[in-house]
Structure 1
Amino acid sequence: MVRDFGDGPIEDDDEEGRANARISKIELDERTVVRRSPEVEHERAVAIYDLLEENSFAPAGDEDGGPYELKLRIEENRLLFDISDPERGGNYQIWLAMTPFRRVVRDYFKICESYYDAIKHLNPSQIEAIDMGRRGLHNEGSTLLKERLAGKVDIDFDTARRLFTLICVLHIRG
């Protein structure tokens, strides 16, 4: 069974307290990736590790499902969350338009470049100032993702942060 939640609102169910309401496996569609910097590879690996260690993730209306396997990909300027529940055979597809994310992703890339350059050349107080801006943009992107998924997938803020990192990684093209 495939349920496509599209980009419109869906009634949200209270999924609190479900032990299986989590991602157990995640895969990024990286067919278009040519090469990434070591810093980006590190961020990707940490985000995946942290996400799999601790997350809260439940598609709306799936009261007893999980744990879930998630494949993320960008296709035709849309983000696809391809969610499966292998124990019960359920599949869910959630498509989000990428347009609302463009500015924050672009700004996040710019500040990350500044941050990685600063680590090599600037003093700790200057690095800390840039890092505060980087965290602020990361939080903004995470909040936007959480808002865009509202009514489709119930996630906590830390899960949204890690998923936003992975969405940014998917935007890097060679």
Structure 2
Amino acid sequence: MGEAPSHNRLIDVELDESIGRSTPDVEHERAVAIFDLIEDNSFRPVGDDTGGPYKLRLSLAEARLVFSIARESDEAVVTHILSLTPFRRIVKDYFLICESYYDAIRTSTPSQIEAIDMGRRGLHNEGSQTLMDRLAGKIDVDFDTARRLFTLVCVLHWRG
């Protein structure tokens, strides 16, 4: 018998129109990132004793990412605003290493590809930890959820 689904989780993630649309490839990556996040996550606004499951609406305001959290019933729970400034370098470096990785897949040896992939994973982990640190005291997430959220943050920056 499987575990009962936790109520401390996201059941829906929506991207506000402030984020804008992009190329079909980028839209696909966004959809995959959202699917992966909803599929497996641990998410609880700090201090919310009622519990979820939750819906997350992401939007952009200036250089900030807005997390609007609601219950399944659409009752608002809390909104948190995160500066994207601490992520700029990591996201930029992550894109650069991803480009190197995709180039390497076509032309490099397996050991070169593996070395680039290790660097890519390391940067992804760094970004995930930064996101967890920035959400501390606001939203409780586990590391795997932070990784999936960081992927989504990256895809929001990606113009294709």
Q: Give TM class, smaller chain.
A: 0.7 to 0.9
Q: Deviations over 1:89-130 (max 9, x none)?
A: 233111011111111011001111111111111121111110
Deviates more, 1:118-127 or 1:139-148: 118-127
Paired letter, 1:113: E
Which residue in the other structure is 2:92 paired with?
A: 106
Which residue in the other structure is 2:113 paired with?
A: 127
Flag the 1:96–1:55 CA change in 2: closer, same or farther, 3 A. Answer: same
- The TM-score with structure 1 as length reference comes to 0.81
Which residue in the other structure is 1:67 paired with?
A: 53
Which residue in the other structure is 2:129 paired with?
A: 143
Deviation at 1:43, TM superposition (A): 4.4
> CA contact under 8 A between 1:27 and 1:70: conserved in structure 2?
yes
Which residue in the other structure is 1:26 paired with?
A: 13
Structure 1 residues not aligned, in runs of 5+: 1-16
> CA contact under 8 A between 1:73 and 1:80: conserved in structure 2?
yes
Considering fraction of residues, name the structure with more helix: 2
Structure 2 residues not aligned, in runs of 5+: none
Which residue in the other structure is 1:118 paired with?
A: 104
Alpha-carbon separation, structure 2, partners of 1:108 and 1:66: 32
Structure 1 counterpart SS, 2:22: coil
Which residue in the other structure is 2:79 paired with?
A: 93
> CA contact under 8 A between 2:52 and 2:71: conserved in structure 1?
yes
Alpha-carbon separation, structure 1, partners of 2:159 and 2:122: 24
Percent of counterpart pairs with the same letter?
Answer: 62
Deviation at 1:83, TM superposition (A): 0.9
> CA contact under 8 A between 2:58 and 2:65: conserved in structure 1?
yes
Alpha-carbon separation, structure 2, partners of 1:116 and 1:82: 34
Over aligned residues, Cα RMSD in angstroms?
2.1
Alpha-carbon separation, structure 2, partners of 1:158 and 1:168: 15
Alpha-carbon separation, structure 1, partners of 2:66 and 2:154: 14
Which structure's relative contact order is higher, taking Cα pairs within 8 Å and 6+ residues apart? 1
Paired letter, 1:32: G
